[in-house]
Structure 1
Amino acid sequence: MVALELVLIAIASLFLLYKWLTATYNTFELRGVPYEKPYPLVGNFGAVVLNKESMRKSFIEFYKRNKLHKVVGFYNFRTPAFIINDPELVKKLAVKDFESFPNHAPFFNADDEPLFAGMLSIMKDQRWKDMRNTLTPVFTAAKMRSMLPLMNECFLECINNLNKKLEGGSCELEMKQFFTRLTNDIIATTAFGISINSYENPKNEFYDIGQSITNFKGAQMLKFMLSNVMPWLLKLLGVRVFDAHKTDYFMRLVVDSMKYREEHNIVRPDMIQLLMEAKKESTQNWSDIDIVAQCFVFFFAAFENNANLICATCHELMENPDIQQRVYEECVEIKAELKEETLNYETTNKMKYMEMVLNETLRRWAFAAFTDRVCSKDYKLTDDDDKLLFEFKVGDRIFFPIGGFQLDEKYFENPDVFDPERFSDENKGNIVPFTNIPFGVGPRICIGNRYALMQAKAILYYLVTNYKLERSEKTVKNVFDEMRGFQVTPNGGFWLRFVSRT
């Protein structure tokens, strides 16, 4: 009898769990929106969670199947989201009527993570607006100009280390690990005010902790998922998404640095200095956590993404020798103009073809497959003829399909072909507005896009002037098919052969 009761309790528990996991899966049917059938818990990301394909590919393929619908439903795990498949409607929601959709949806529950809750990308409403207005001057051309010398030190350390690896004038290299160390050192010096050489000291604490925090695999990925789907469970278990000693490390790093600079009247052209100055000029009462959080956002915005951009561009230059040659010729002209001087901000802005190449990499690779917004007040979406298309409710999540637009033949002819000429002065005006939005869109566009492009231009300048980029025996055949889960890196790695030009 006891055994039967236990079986019945188990069955009832499983039934209740199933009902909870699928409780939101009637949303689109009730709201009259087309959608694809989801799986329990994982929603429309089943193939991603099962490691059959990348999140990027899964989302882009979903867009292709449903792009004729201006609004289509997508289950982001248990959370329903409304995908907007019309660039004109994206403009309306993200720009014209921004006040109705001012916030991002947090990608995890940050209530118990004050350092993360204070990041600009997670802040909401007036608090976000105040911080955005305060930080915008930090990313002006003048500020970028002062940061480039700090980056140059890291670039030269990178090239020196690469030269040490050359045997017989060439070497094979897994780029992701190599350039992640570079972006780590750049973040350390430009955001946190410390000098680190992760090539000479590969096990340094800054790199190890930063990499573990930005790791979206294994146990860390599970904690992210649970925080998004069942935050109460993590709280019940006393588990935090990020280990306290890791976040405390960065708190001490920044706070101690600010204190030391104030006591010794030290000025350094980095993010901490700029934030200290912004704090003095701001009418807002900034806490230490607010400042550390803005430095910390670099790990999520730059640690992985900037390394991915460098790796992807190197891969495209390897695959397209004629394009690589044009980049090389432009860099040679810049080098002659510099006359043995290191790269400066003005000369990076003269690299027009390099910029075209980077823009095409950002378009084709679509590192962020989508960006999101949350509806803050009930909103009626209408077309140009004032015809009602859909009614959004407070709390609805909206997805803008960055990867879908950028890989759609309707907007980009032969979208899988790498063609920098799309972004030439003659052609870029033909691009349909709001179809190429790699850094996001509207007032919520990435504030550090100038920083990212300057960094990528500079390191590529040093790489291309010193080496030819060629296929390695370990280079994967189809890089996009080799991606899995939430990573942009192919399973086989970003292998390349660097051949010295001297």
Structure 2
Amino acid sequence: MEYWTILLSIVIGSLGIHYLFRNYNFFKRHGVIHYTPSVPILGAMTSVIFRRTSVVDFIDKIYNFNPNAKYFGVYATTNPVFWLRDPEIIKSILVKNFEAFPDRRGFADLNEPLLANNLFSIRGQKWRDVRALLSPSFTSSKMKMMFTLMSECAVDFANFLSTSVPAEKSDMEIKDAFTKYTNDVIATCAFGIKIDSMKDPTNKFYVYGKEATSFFVTRTFKFLLLSTFPTLGRILDIKLIDDHVSGFFKDIIKTTIATRDAENITRPDMIQLMMDIRGKEGRRELNIDDMTAQAFIFFFGGFDTTSTAMSFVAHELAANPDVQIKLRQEIDKVLEESNGEVTYETINQFEYLDLVINETLRLYPPVAFLERICDKAYELPPALPGEKPFTMKKGMICWIPVFAIHHDAKYYDDPEKFRPERFLDNKMYHNSSFYMPFGLGPRMCIANRFAMLEVKVLLFHLLARCELKPCAKTTLPLKFQKGLVMMPEGGFWLNVQRRSDMHPVLESTMANGVVNS
């Protein structure tokens, strides 16, 4: 066991005993229905923390603790947390009464600017200011400009897989490949850097990106310590991101700004938007640390979560060949009608592609649960008939178990089955508290449209050229690995081969070395 793991185990144990006496009887004292864990210090999450169960099984077990209750209490490590099940309460907290629950814990209390100063973590008025500043990055007009940059990355990626991967290497860990694509997209769209990570997998942007987003054992313990005892984390100066990684991203921002200022360069990306507000009356400027933090969280959120979403889509397409064939037919039809000239408008007119992505995000939401902190008194109705209401007070925490809600038979027929057609009636799920792959309300993921476009562009170019099949290492049916990360056992292994029935329009452009996008 590593030194850090031993040290953090001792610290968590010691402080846990102290907090145990202060917090552990919270729900009992207030007469709130609650789940009582067998191990008090680490709470209900003990089995997940020590990798005896998967986060998916943990969520499912807690969610079904009392199926009739609108909410109940759970101890997450030493913290009492309100676990919400009722869609009306969830919508009230995330949307209707957002002002009472405007923030999440995030990393705001850490002594780590890269994580503490970004949009995910910041709170109050600062969050409102930065959210208003960054929102124009994700309008339709900006998406249309970024579409060209994304398409270049997707074409390079798909062409590499369909022309440069020998047959004996066609079995691959597809998430590893997809992280290279998401790395390249974010590098060009957020940082203004052109990279081809399939051809050059040792570039620093990709290497440091993997290092920053990998949740190995030591970092898991650090994360738990910092989220439970943030003050101690500041005192000990414990960090999740190593200094050489944060320094690398900060240097990129500094260099990019200096180069663009000196050479009068403009690009349709996030850095440019943050640069453009400088000197404008009434607009809050961001310093280098703030700008780096915003660009980094865009990277941190998109590098892993988007590639994971793509991997789950690819897995389901390989496991359901009838769905994959139908989707390839839709793609070929668009290639035929557009003569290979695929535009931003074209990519957003796909119907079946949208259904496939929506259903995948239901089965495997990027974030398994949402968190909100109470900022002012809010009365919860009785959890069960005959129970009393409970008034949440400032500082109390609630969790919304997105994964469990997405798999609840109360809201979805045959919820474990991959059935894209269920989203044909998309109005039923729009702005719904039982479909929340990107969250809900003012604090939902600001980059959800960007992420969806990134996935669509990738799948279009990949499936136009390649066929996805299970291989010997594919886990069927899918089983989740034990621990805090929602990943299948053994990874996302698939067989990826060039299509034998590629559309003639695409065949001719590839033969000529020209691909329109």
Q: Same fold (TM over 0.5)?
A: yes
Deviation at 1:233, TM superposition (A): 4.2
Pairwise mapping of residues 275-286 of structure 1 onto structure 2 (< 5 A)?
Answer: 275-279=274-278, 281=280, 283-286=283-286
Residues 148/365 of structure 1: CA separation in 2 closer, same or farther (3 Å cut): same
Residues 391/216 of structure 1: CA separation in 2 closer, same or farther (3 Å cut): same
1:359 matched to which residue of 2?
358
Are positions 1:313 and 2:297 aligned together?
no
Aligned length: 485
1:169–1:500 contact (8 Å) kept in structure 2: no
Q: How big is each residue's C-alpha offset from its partner over 1:92-121, in whole Å with a ceiling of 9 and x where there is no partner?
A: 111111111111122x46431122221111
1:112–1:240 contact (8 Å) kept in structure 2: yes
Which 10-residue stretch deviates more, 238-247 or 430-439? Answer: 430-439
Q: How big is each residue's C-alpha offset from its partner over 1:395-433, in whole Å with a ceiling of 9 and x where there is no partner?
A: 000111211211000000110011111111x46437893
Deviation at 1:447, TM superposition (A): 0.6
1:113 matched to which residue of 2?
112
Pairwise mapping of residues 231-310 of structure 1 onto structure 2 (< 5 A)?
Answer: 231-279=230-278, 281=280, 283-310=283-310
Matching residue's letter, 2:374: C
Matching residue's letter, 1:241: L
Deviation at 1:161, TM superposition (A): 2.3
Residues 202/431 of structure 1: CA separation in 2 closer, same or farther (3 Å cut): closer
Residues 84/234 of structure 1: CA separation in 2 closer, same or farther (3 Å cut): closer
2:90 matched to which residue of 1?
90
> Structure 1: how far apart are the matches of 2:431 and 2:201?
45
Residues 17/266 of structure 1: CA separation in 2 closer, same or farther (3 Å cut): closer
> Structure 1: how far apart are the matches of 2:15 and 2:436?
42
Residues 402/286 of structure 1: CA separation in 2 closer, same or farther (3 Å cut): same
Pairwise mapping of residues 392-431 of structure 1 onto structure 2 (< 5 A)?
Answer: 392-424=392-424, 426=425, 428-429=427-428
1:154–1:186 contact (8 Å) kept in structure 2: yes
Deviation at 1:232, TM superposition (A): 4.4
Matching residue's letter, 1:162: L
> Structure 2: how far apart are the matches of 1:198 and 1:500?
20
Q: How big is each residue's C-alpha offset from its partner over 1:164-185, in whole Å with a ceiling of 9 and x where there is no partner?
A: 4544598211111111111111
Pairwise mapping of residues 392-471 of structure 1 onto structure 2 (< 5 A)?
Answer: 392-424=392-424, 426=425, 428-429=427-428, 433-471=432-470
SS at match of 2:188: helix
2:104 matched to which residue of 1?
104
Matching residue's letter, 2:404: G
2:6 matched to which residue of 1?
none
Pairwise mapping of residues 376-395 of structure 1 onto structure 2 (< 5 A)?
Answer: 376-382=375-381, 389-395=389-395
> Structure 2: how far apart are the matches of 1:138 and 1:478?
39
SS at match of 1:380: strand
| CA RMSD between the two structures | 2.4
SS at match of 1:155: helix
2:382–2:390 contact (8 Å) kept in structure 1: no
SS at match of 2:372: strand
Which 10-residue stretch deviates more, 440-449 or 263-272? Answer: 263-272
> Structure 2: how far apart are the matches of 1:111 and 1:179?
30
> Structure 1: how far apart are the matches of 2:390 and 2:175?
43
Matching residue's letter, 2:123: K
> Structure 1: how far apart are the matches of 2:215 and 2:275?
31
Are positions 1:484 and 2:482 aligned together?
yes
Are positions 1:153 and 2:152 aligned together?
yes
Matching residue's letter, 2:349: K
Residues 443/184 of structure 1: CA separation in 2 closer, same or farther (3 Å cut): same
TM-score (norm 1): 0.91
> Structure 2: how far apart are the matches of 1:127 and 1:214?
25
List runs of 5+ in structure 2 lacking aligned partners: 1-12, 501-517
1:221 matched to which residue of 2?
220
1:37 matched to which residue of 2?
36
Residues 59/279 of structure 1: CA separation in 2 closer, same or farther (3 Å cut): farther
Which 10-residue stretch deviates more, 408-417 or 158-167? Answer: 158-167
TM-score (norm 2): 0.88
Residues 126/67 of structure 1: CA separation in 2 closer, same or farther (3 Å cut): farther
Deviation at 1:89, TM superposition (A): 0.8
1:11 matched to which residue of 2?
none
1:27–1:80 contact (8 Å) kept in structure 2: yes
Deviation at 1:61, TM superposition (A): 2.5
Matching residue's letter, 1:163: S
Residues 27/326 of structure 1: CA separation in 2 closer, same or farther (3 Å cut): same
Q: How big is each residue's C-alpha offset from its partner over 1:24-52, in whole Å with a ceiling of 9 and x where there is no partner?
A: 21111112212222324321111211212
SS at match of 1:66: coil
Matching residue's letter, 2:289: I
Matching residue's letter, 2:413: E
Deviation at 1:306, TM superposition (A): 0.5
Q: How big is each residue's C-alpha offset from its partner over 1:429-453, in whole Å with a ceiling of 9 and x where there is no partner?
A: 3789310011001110111000000
Residues 166/208 of structure 1: CA separation in 2 closer, same or farther (3 Å cut): closer
Residues 430/249 of structure 1: CA separation in 2 closer, same or farther (3 Å cut): closer
Matching residue's letter, 2:390: F
SS at match of 2:467: strand
> Structure 1: how far apart are the matches of 2:279 and 2:314?
41
2:188 matched to which residue of 1?
189
Identity of matched residues, % = 35
